[in-house]
Amino acid sequence: MIAIPPGVRVLVATRPVDFRRGAHGLAALAAEVLGEDPFSGTVLVFRAKRADRVKLLIWDGSGLVLVWKQLSQGSFRWPPVMDGVMRLSAVEFATLFDGLDWSRVQTTRRIPTPTKVA
């Protein structure tokens, strides 16, 4: 289990990537294709063509951290394949990383800010 603090951006690259890429290859892909800074502290999530594999790329302040996970049974519930990235909350990411259906998780809704004093 990897705990992502609330407020940290989690971005999922929705197109599958070549899983032979290492940390530097995925960082270059994030910068060139996705337009994201891999050194910003954002958690970048990459999927393989096989739906049972995921790679995470995270800058921890002193270096790139690459996490690779393969489910022993079943597959990850991925967003639809399209160009670009999709943002997930920390709770949705934790659910996805555990191999569960992240789309069924309800994120905390923000309390609306009052517009005028009553």
| Residuewise pLDDT in 10s, the chain (118 residues) | 677 777 889 999 989 999 999 999 999 999 998 899 999 999 999 999 988 999 999 998 899 999 999 999 988 888 777 888 888 888 888 888 888 888 777 665 666 677 776 5
Q: How far apart are CA 37 and CA 93, in angstroms?
A: 19
pLDDT of residue 8: 87
Specify the amino acid at residue 4: I
Domain boundaries, the chain: 10-104
| Under 8 Å between Cβ of 43 and 9 | yes
Report how far residue 3's alpha carbon sits from residue 5's, in angstroms, rounded to the nearest whole number.
6
pLDDT of residue 118: 57
CA 66 to chain centre: 12
> Each residue of 34-61: pLDDT tens digit?
899 999 999 999 999 988 999 999 998 8
Strands 10-13 and 85-88, by their bridges, are antiparallel
